[in-house]
Structure 1
Amino acid sequence: MSKRLDWLDIGKGLGMLLVMLGHADIPTPLKTYIYTFHMPLFFFLSGYLYNKDKFPSLKVFFKKRTKTLILPYLSFSFMAYLWFLLLNHFGLVNYKNNLLTPLLGSVIAERKSIWTVHSGALWFVSCLFCTELLFYFIAKIGRTKKAIGSLLLVTSVVGCLYNKMVGQPLPWNIDVAMISVGFYGAGYLFKEYNKNLERFNHLKALVLLLIVNLFTGYLNYVLTGERVDFYNSSLGNIVLFYLSAFSGIGALVILIKHMKKNKVLQYIGKNSFIYLAFHQKIVFFVFSLLIQKSIFNFESIIDHPIVEGVLFTLITVVILIPAVYIINHYFPFMLGKTTRKSMREVSLNAY
């Protein structure tokens, strides 16, 4: 991998840490801030890696994305389903519907429903597939950068209108995909205009963007009482939502481009799919259960939710290292790859 893309792995690693921290029991202000940009950031970074030449036809697109997104999504969803059955057997989950419903639900992929009670953060993967599919058509129809930008704007407006007027999650999270494609397309256009935008790659711009992100994110929450949350179809004020999201993305991009090579963040970034799949419904669930059973008494060690959330996140990073190794070496098909050599390409282009 060329050095110019190292920052993407670092960005995904940092973004994944924010995702895990956001799923921990942390104070509302911090959670609200993280949610202003952390999911848009992932769509943006994924869009940066989109290459139209790799998808000369819709058939090729489906063939490649079935291997790198759909099959991994179904593989990890099935593992999550087996875990769910185990928890249900021991009475650790309160689920009174047919136990085959979540299994079928992995195919339906409708978040926040009885269909996907087992899959947790995996909703993002199905949404990413639909986002890429939407952008594939937008790039084919638009052809020029200006036309692509206009189509992205129209699609995002339709997505926001649906979110405000209906708000019901759709199969494969197509409702969120109509919104997230704007961030995905922005990542693609950022790459196309990268040379012209490099003049903003300095710390003064970072501080300015960070201030805009904090102010608009806070104002959005205060005025609407809603925390930005794609999973729960919550955006708050649309204008403030986009201002806080794009300013947050801009600040993070400048930050990670100024960071030195960080092997830990790059490791997490390369294996973000595995961390996404396992951290919430498995590792965090076990942590919470152990605390409830007083096996782990965090309160006797620390007395601040932020510190507890950070500990949850960092311990999860370490605990999942064996799972990362086993899946990469013995079950590579779960990540859409057949050899270790193809790991980099799959990691970057699929997530």
Structure 2
Amino acid sequence: MSKRLDWLDLGKGLGMLLVMLGHADIPAPLKTYIYTFHMPLFFFLSGYLYKKEKFPNLKVFLTRRTKSLILPYLSFSLIAYLWFLLLFHFGLVNYENNLLTPLLGSFIAERKSIWTVHTGALWFVACLFCTELLFYFIAKIGRTKKVIGFLLIISSILGCLYNKIVGQPLPWNIDVAMISIGFYGAGYLYREYNRGFELFNHIQTFILLFIINVVTGYLNDVVTGERVDFYSSSLGNIPLFYLSAFSGIGAFVILVKQMKKNKVLQYIGKNSFIYLALHQKIVFFVFGLLIQNSVVNFDTLLKHPIVEGLLYTLITVVVLIPAVYLINRYFPFLLGKTTRKSSRGFSMNAF
């Protein structure tokens, strides 16, 4: 995509702030609210950019997505593994299994296991690849949008059934991919029917969808006692899960489209992969370690969890600016690109 869509950059930037805030220590109600839609949102935004004509055959798809998703995933997984070894050497993490297990685990990509103790939020990238691969086949089989929609529903039902009956994470997060395909496909169909949806792009619809999102998300948490969390295979009540997720996505998209250009959010959005890969296991860990060993008493400042969460998030945004510059300028191959110019398009085209 030669011309970037500002609202998508804004959306990815604001969404990434929610991801980082959700990984920090914040009040449970706020975390519950964020988790009702923030991961479905990223699948939705990724699906918005899918174009069938870009992938005339499976070979082209695998070649392009290996370069834009698999190689960056493995590159940052290796960085995460080296960081894990460093922490283990200094006794800062406890791990009783073979130290080669996480290295091999990067290829197995089974979240929430001894294989991926080092990768953190990178599980999403592996899942996104499987989601896109599944959607590639659905888009090939489905010759009309109605057939595509039907196949998306079937896949989502199968994914939810597996989640409720088995619930065991599968390699490359295929189990989540079967559910997230619904949101990815919704993003694709949203672009196809964009003109019709624009009729609802106003503040009244935003308020209605926001209320539905909050109410259904709250009910899901209260009724089931489960916070929605793809990583933990937790969905709660399925109808309430989908109502809260889609209403949250709808409200978010309307909000972002009403916003003016924001260079900070657009910057984060354009570099969302780097923020996703480095914020949780590295920046958050180091910041927490510095606070614990500081001679300055931060107890008063961090007394309220929301303050701590916001502080972690804002500091991470600033701290990673040099890393973003260095990677884009000198190590674009980590993002599956060969030049600085081409690396700018990564986060929107692949993540």
TM-score of the superposition, structure 1-length normalised?
0.98
Distance in 2 (alpha carbons) for counterparts of 1:149 and 1:103: 38
Gaps of 5+ in 1: none
Aligned to 2:224: 224
Asked if the contact 2:270–2:345 (Cα under 8 Å) also holds between the matched residues in 1, the reply is: no
Aligned to 2:234: 234
* Aligned residue identity for 1:214: V
Aligned to 1:289: 289
Aligned to 1:252: 252
Distance in 1 (alpha carbons) for counterparts of 2:265 and 2:60: 32
Asked if the contact 1:290–1:296 (Cα under 8 Å) also holds between the matched residues in 2, the reply is: no
Q: Deviations over 1:209-253 (max 9, x none)?
A: 000000000000000000000000000000000000000000000
User: Shift in Å at residue 2 of structure 1?
Assistant: 7.3
Asked if the contact 2:16–2:275 (Cα under 8 Å) also holds between the matched residues in 1, the reply is: yes
> Are positions 1:36 and 2:43 aligned together?
no
Aligned to 1:68: 68
* Aligned residue identity for 2:318: V
Aligned to 1:141: 141
* Aligned residue identity for 2:304: H
Asked if the contact 1:298–1:308 (Cα under 8 Å) also holds between the matched residues in 2, the reply is: no
Aligned to 1:55: 55
SS of match in other structure, 1:300: coil
User: Shift in Å at residue 5 of structure 1?
Assistant: 1.0
Asked if the contact 2:301–2:307 (Cα under 8 Å) also holds between the matched residues in 1, the reply is: no
Asked if the contact 2:138–2:148 (Cα under 8 Å) also holds between the matched residues in 1, the reply is: yes
Distance in 1 (alpha carbons) for counterparts of 2:26 and 2:326: 31
Distance in 2 (alpha carbons) for counterparts of 1:69 and 1:4: 19
* Aligned residue identity for 2:284: F
Distance in 2 (alpha carbons) for counterparts of 1:19 and 1:155: 26
> Are positions 1:214 and 2:222 aligned together?
no
Greater shift, 341-350 or 17-26, is seen at: 341-350
Distance in 2 (alpha carbons) for counterparts of 1:296 and 1:206: 44
Alpha-carbon RMSD = 1.1
Distance in 2 (alpha carbons) for counterparts of 1:278 and 1:55: 30
Aligned to 1:161: 161
Distance in 1 (alpha carbons) for counterparts of 2:340 and 2:93: 37
Aligned to 1:10: 10
Distance in 1 (alpha carbons) for counterparts of 2:283 and 2:346: 24
SS of match in other structure, 1:112: coil
User: Shift in Å at residue 300 of structure 1?
Assistant: 2.9
SS of match in other structure, 2:342: helix
Aligned to 1:306: 306
> Are positions 1:337 and 2:337 aligned together?
yes
SS of match in other structure, 2:268: helix
> Are positions 1:90 and 2:87 aligned together?
no
* Aligned residue identity for 2:64: K
Asked if the contact 1:111–1:169 (Cα under 8 Å) also holds between the matched residues in 2, the reply is: yes
Distance in 2 (alpha carbons) for counterparts of 1:295 and 1:188: 52
Distance in 2 (alpha carbons) for counterparts of 1:302 and 1:98: 37
Matches within 5 A, 1:114-125: 114-125=114-125
Percent identity among equivalent residues? 81
Distance in 2 (alpha carbons) for counterparts of 1:197 and 1:77: 39
Q: Deviations over 1:272-325 (max 9, x none)?
A: 000001100001111111222234643233431101100110000000000000
Alpha carbons of 1:210 and 1:95: their partners in 2 closer, same or farther (altered >3 Å)?
A: same
Distance in 2 (alpha carbons) for counterparts of 1:3 and 1:157: 36
SS of match in other structure, 2:92: coil
> Are positions 1:174 and 2:147 aligned together?
no
Aligned to 1:262: 262
Q: Deviations over 1:71-99 (max 9, x none)?
A: 00000000000000000000000101000
Distance in 1 (alpha carbons) for counterparts of 2:235 and 2:145: 27
Distance in 1 (alpha carbons) for counterparts of 2:295 and 2:118: 25
Aligned to 2:112: 112
Distance in 1 (alpha carbons) for counterparts of 2:18 and 2:220: 20
TM-score of the superposition, structure 2-length normalised?
0.98
* Aligned residue identity for 1:336: G
* Aligned residue identity for 2:287: F
Asked if the contact 1:44–1:183 (Cα under 8 Å) also holds between the matched residues in 2, the reply is: yes
Distance in 2 (alpha carbons) for counterparts of 1:177 and 1:64: 19
* Aligned residue identity for 1:144: T
Distance in 2 (alpha carbons) for counterparts of 1:273 and 1:254: 23
User: Shift in Å at residue 343 of structure 1?
Assistant: 2.3
